[in-house]
């Protein structure tokens, strides 16, 4: 599933650009049908969404804020995918990662944010990595399938977090299960304040420094997968475990590392949500972003260069969806979830339907037939 | 003494109610997975069915029509799963995830648009639901200590779908282990090439299995919204499809052990609501979250081989490619 020229000799832009565009257009057509079934105007609704997502600096800020979280969870899916693993546990890993981030931020007191950030990144990555590495270990050494285990771990993470928030981390004298607020000094700077410092006026949005962290993660993941020895081992195991073994690669170790790395990336969602925006620990902050990461990764062909635009597109859908309800009250924001599901169907499950059709289109017909 | 006996009876009673949707979905998973098609999409099919049942029952006032709509909706998703995984040899897990997410979005969007109640459907009157059946002699036998009250409290007084689900366990076992169809079904999940060599169509068998799974998920969904509940709520399956999958694994892909796993999970669920805030002597307050997470922990432990070994059907998850 990697980008580039496949065995069927499709040019890179056909797999990397044309195929995803076809997937999105089909997904949009399906959602247009849903909107028509509700009795609303699909083109008007989509225009409202685009305007809501990109038309104002506030909308743009929200779009990129959602995209930041999605880049992390999609990179998580992509790293595992290159190792031949399907990590559905991004949601739980992000949840635990947020716990790690929160514990760091609660512990550091009034340390300035630029000193806290490396620690909170470490905390989020470590907790996420642990929650990914256990299913990885169980697959590598105990033979349980990572798909099932990560699903189970999502539920276990959710129960664990409820227990911790209700019984341990809750701020005393408070009814709702939320921790104390972090010290103001630790807050990550908002992009609107950074822009104001160089004279650009932006309306308030939760977009924060994490965006740059997400972009840096893209570069690091790209370098890791395609330009390191470990990345090569990862892709070899993903392509053919037996061949990897004969080449002297230990697939068990690779599987655990891949799942740990995948979990660490998902855990960084916590930096954006907890360290960047909420400034306290609370329940359910991953809000399905771990699952949306699957759609983003599939659409971005598991390549950082594809994941960034795909994450921005889904960020637009999220932000546009919230704007939609003001003009079209009968369309709820769950329309984004439908689009997400349909994208996974077209870009993932029905991959083998579209690709051969493209191959036929690009293969010159033999002469004389 | 009598008090704790009645406490136990009411626990068993709610255990049966809670086990039914799990059991129906787990049996659905049984047919699909034994035929070699992994079904992560139990959750989505149930959810879609629950919505279709509640919406239809609300519109027509008939639980029966609701059930038909539920089965229809679930079958459509099952067909889509088959189309992606069998016809186009797509990744079965990815397809299942796609179905779950699509169902979650679609039910919320349509429910919100059609009923304007924030994704809920109107409360169904008793006539549009599956009512409780009083089994013969339940009232007469009530007076008899122990057995009589067991019969009238636990065995009697459920809706038809509960009894149907329980009856489906021996039926499933019989179909799977005593019929030609069952033999072929299991064979196609273990060694599809052998089935193909015998001149039997692998895709046709797998489609049948996937459609049976759709039918059973339809029953499970209708149970949630028109028997146990009185209407649809957003995401009302709340992970029951995954729990059913866990029960199937814990039951090692066999009907009767799967039933026991469903009963165990349902008992944990029933206990959890009853133990909220209860202080156990010597243990302190029982963390309900631990009981909540127990089914998943058990499944992980079993799959990891720390308590017995669960071996999935050999060909499950692998699309069949006929050799040329």
Q: How far apart are CA B129 and CA B229, in angstroms?
A: 9
What value does the mean pLDDT of chain A take? 90
Report which of residues A329 and A293 the model is more confident about.
Answer: A293
Do the Cβ atoms of B100 and B41 come closer than 8 Å? yes
Chain B, window 101-160: residues with a beta carbon less than 8 angstroms from a chain A beta carbon = 101-106, 108-110, 112-114, 116, 119
Percentage of residues of chain A with pLDDT beyond 90: 63
Residue A185 lies in a domain: yes
What is the pLDDT, as a whole number, of residue B44? 96
Nearest-by-Cβ selection for A149 from B112, B300, B312: B300
CA B101 to CA B93: how far, in whole Å?
12
Q: What is the pLDDT of residue A368?
A: 55
Cβ neighbours of residue A350 closer than 8 Å, sequence gap 6 or more: B84, B88, B90
Q: Is A365 on the interface with B (CB under 8 A)?
A: no
Q: Is residue B323 part of a domain?
A: no
Domains in chain B, number: 1
Q: How confident is the model at residue B289 (pLDDT cuts 50, 70, 90)?
A: confident
The answer on pLDDT for A365 being more than 80 is no
H or E segment to which residue A250 belongs: none
B206 domain-assigned: yes
CA atoms within 13 A on the CB side of A223: 6
The whole-number pLDDT of residue B282 equals: 67
Q: In this predicted structure, what is the pLDDT of residue A95?
A: 97
For residue A219, pLDDT beyond 90: yes
What integer pLDDT is reported at residue A3 of this predicted model? 40
Task: List alpha helices for chain A, DSSP H.
Answer: 12-13, 19-38, 42-54, 57-82, 90-107, 113-142, 146-167, 191-197, 210-227, 229-239, 241-246, 251-267, 269-270, 289-299, 304-327, 335-343, 351-362
Q: What is the pLDDT of residue A142?
A: 87
Q: With bands split at pLDDT 50, 70 and 90, how would you rate the model's confidence at B290?
A: confident
CA distances from residue B56 to A175, B59, B128, B130 in whole angstroms, order as listed: 40, 5, 10, 14
Contact A345 B98 (CB under 8 A): yes
A142 versus A369: the higher-pLDDT residue is A142
C-alpha A13/C-alpha B276 separation (Å) is 57
Q: Which residue has the higher pLDDT, A64 or A174?
A: A64
Mean pLDDT (whole number) for A73-91: 95
> Does the residue A194 lie in any domain?
yes
B313 within some domain: no
Q: Which residue has the higher pLDDT, A144 or A98?
A: A98
Which of A104, A105, A89, A99 minimizes the C-alpha distance to A150?
Answer: A89
What is the average per-residue pLDDT within A117-133? Answer: 97
Residue B312 is assigned to a structural domain of this protein: no
Q: What three-state secondary structure class fits B284? A: strand
pLDDT of residue B197 exceeding 80, the answer is yes
**Quick check: A344 pLDDT over 70?**
yes
The ipTM (two decimal places) reads 0.90
C-beta of residue A38 within 8 angstroms of C-beta of residue B109: yes
On the 0-12 / 13-18 / 19+ scale of CB atoms within 10 A, B148 is middle
Residue B269's closest CA among B45, B17, B3, B4?
B17
Neighbouring C-beta atoms of residue A369, cutoff 10 Å: 4
pLDDT at A47: 92
Quick check: B95 and A345 CB within 8 A? yes
Confidence of residue A234 (pLDDT cuts 50, 70, 90): very high
- Is A2 within the bounds of a domain? no
List the single residue in B84, B239, B293 with the smallest CB-CB distance to A345: B84
CB contact under 8 A, B246 and A152: yes
Is B104 a residue whose pLDDT tops 60?
Answer: yes
Among B38, B91, B108, select the one facing A332 at the smallest CB separation. Answer: B108
A248 vs B140, more confident: A248
The mean of the pLDDT values for chain B is: 90
pLDDT for residue A152 is more than 70:
yes
Interface size between A and B, measured as CB pairs under 8 A: 158
CA pseudo-torsion sign A31, A33, A38, A42: positive
Question: Does residue A367 fall inside a structural domain?
Answer: no
Q: Please give the share of chain A, as a percent, with pLDDT higher than 70.
A: 96
| Range(s) of the domain holding residue A352 | 12-362
Is the Cβ pair A138, B304 closer than 8 Å?
yes
Contact A99, A281 (CB under 8 A): yes
- Judged on CB neighbours under 10 Å (0-12, 13-18, 19+), B251 is buried
Please, are residues B214 and B46 in contact by the beta-carbon 8 Å criterion?
no
In whole angstroms, what separates CA A89 from the centre of its chain? 11
Of chain A, the end-to-end C-alpha distance in Å amounts to 32
Domain assignment present for A274: yes
Inform me whether the pLDDT recorded for B92 exceeds 50. yes
Residue A241 has pLDDT above 60, yes or no: yes
Q: Residue A346: is its pLDDT beyond 80?
A: yes
- Whether residue A3 is contained in a domain is answered as no
Q: What is the pLDDT of residues B30-71, one digit of tens each?
A: 999 999 999 999 999 999 999 999 999 999 999 999 999 999
Number of folded domains that form chain A: 1
CB contact under 8 A, B105 and A345: no
Question: Is residue A5 included in any domain, yes or no?
Answer: no
**The domain spanning residue A356 has which CATH number?**
1.10.3470
Task: Please indicate whether residue A13 or residue A311 has the higher confidence score (pLDDT).
Answer: A311
pLDDT digits (tens, 9 = 90+) for B221-265: 999 999 999 999 988 998 899 999 989 988 989 999 999 999 999
| A7 domain residue, yes or no | no
Task: With beta carbons less than 8 A apart as the criterion, state whether B130 and B161 touch.
Answer: yes
pLDDT at position A366 is: 66
Asked if residue B277 is part of any domain, the answer here is yes
What CATH number does the domain containing B197 carry?
Answer: 1.10.3470
B 31-50 residues inside an 8 A Cβ radius of A = 38, 40
Does the structure show a pLDDT above 80 at B323?
Answer: no
- The phi and psi torsions of B158 (rounded to 5 degrees) equal -110, 165
The residue range of the domain holding B222 is 10-303
Residue of B nearest to A38 (CA): B113
Q: Which residues contact A201 (CB under 8 A, 6 or more apart)?
A: A57, A195
- Put simply, the answer to whether B303 touches A37 (Cβ < 8 Å) is no
């Amino acid at each position: 599933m990697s980008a580039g020229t496949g065995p069927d000799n499709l040019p890179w832009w056909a797999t990397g650009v044309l195929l995803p565009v076809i997937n999105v257009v089909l997904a949009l057509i399906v959602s247009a049908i849903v909107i028509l079934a509700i009795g609303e105007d699909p083109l008007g609704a989509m225009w409202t969404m685009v305007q809501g997502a990109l038309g104002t600096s506030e909308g743009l800020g929200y779009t990129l804020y959602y995209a930041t979280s999605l880049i992390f969870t999609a990179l998580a899916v992509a790293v595992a995918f290159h190792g031949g693993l399907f990590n559905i546990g991004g949601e739980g890993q992000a949840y635990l990662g947020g716990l790690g981030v929160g514990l760091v931020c609660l512990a550091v007191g009034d340390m300035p944010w630029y000193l806290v950030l490396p620690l909170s990144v470490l905390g989020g990555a470590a907790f996420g990595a642990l929650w990914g590495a256990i299913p990885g270990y169980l697959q590598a050494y105990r033979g349980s399938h990572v798909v099932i285990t990560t699903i189970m771990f999502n539920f276990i993470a959710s129960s664990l977090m409820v227990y911790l928030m209700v019984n341990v981390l809750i701020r005393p004298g408070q009814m709702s299960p939320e921790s104390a607020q972090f010290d103001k000094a630790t807050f990550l700077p908002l992009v609107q304040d950074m822009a104001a410092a160089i004279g650009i006026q932006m309306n308030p949005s939760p977009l924060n420094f994490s965006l740059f962290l997400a972009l840096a993660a893209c570069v690091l993941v790209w370098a890791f997968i395609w330009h390191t020895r470990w990345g090569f081992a990862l892709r070899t195991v993903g392509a053919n475990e037996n061949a990897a073994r004969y080449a002297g690669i230990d697939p068990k170790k690779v599987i655990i590392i891949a799942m740990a790395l995948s979990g660490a990336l998902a855990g960084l969602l916590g930096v954006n949500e907890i360290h960047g925006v909420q400034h306290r620990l609370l329940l359910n902050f991953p809000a399905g972003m771990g699952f949306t990461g699957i759609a983003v990764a599939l659409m971005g062909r598991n390549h950082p260069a594809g994941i960034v635009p795909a994450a921005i597109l889904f960020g637009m859908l999220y932000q546009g969806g919230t704007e939609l309800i003001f003009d079209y009250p009968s369309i709820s924001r769950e329309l984004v979830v439908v689009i997400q599901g349909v994208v996974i169907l077209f870009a993932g499950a029905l991959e083998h339907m579209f690709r051969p059709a493209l191959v036929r289109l690009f293969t010159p017909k033999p002469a004389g037939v | 003494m009598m008090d704790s006996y009645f406490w136990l009876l009411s626990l068993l009673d709610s255990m049966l109610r809670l086990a039914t949707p799990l059991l129906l979905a787990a049996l659905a998973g049984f047919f699909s997975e034994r035929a070699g098609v992994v079904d992560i999409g139990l959750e989505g099919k149930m959810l879609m069915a629950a919505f279709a049942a509640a919406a239809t029952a609300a519109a027509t006032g008939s639980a029966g029509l609701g059930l038909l709509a539920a089965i229809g909706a679930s079958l459509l998703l099952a067909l889509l799963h088959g189309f992606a995984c069998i016809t186009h040899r797509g990744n079965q897990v990815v397809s299942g995830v796609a179905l779950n997410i699509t169902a979650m979005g679609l039910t919320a969007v349509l429910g919100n648009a059609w009923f304007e109640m924030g994704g809920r459907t109107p409360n169904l009157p008793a006539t549009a639901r599956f009512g409780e059946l009083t089994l013969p002699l339940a009232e007469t036998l009530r007076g008899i200590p122990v057995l009589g009250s067991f019969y009238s409290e636990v065995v009697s007084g459920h809706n038809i779908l509960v009894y149907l689900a329980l009856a489906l366990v021996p039926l499933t076992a019989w179909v799977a282990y005593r019929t030609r169809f069952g033999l072929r079904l299991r064979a196609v999940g273990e060694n599809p090439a052998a089935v193909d060599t015998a001149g039997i169509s692998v895709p046709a068998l797998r489609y049948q299995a996937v459609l049976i799974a759709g039918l059973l998920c339809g029953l499970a969904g209708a149970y949630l919204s028109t028997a146990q509940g009185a209407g649809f709520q957003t995401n009302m399956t709340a992970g029951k499809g995954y729990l059913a999958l866990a029960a199937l694994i814990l039951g090692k892909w066999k009907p009767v052990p799967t039933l026991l796993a469903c009963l165990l999970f349902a008992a944990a669920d029933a206990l959890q609501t009853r133990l909220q805030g209860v202080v156990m002597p010597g243990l302190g307050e029982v963390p309900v979250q631990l009981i909540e997470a127990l089914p998943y922990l058990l499944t992980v432990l079993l799959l990891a081989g720390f308590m017995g070994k669960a071996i999935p059907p050999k060909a499950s998850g692998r699309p069949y490619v006929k050799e040329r």
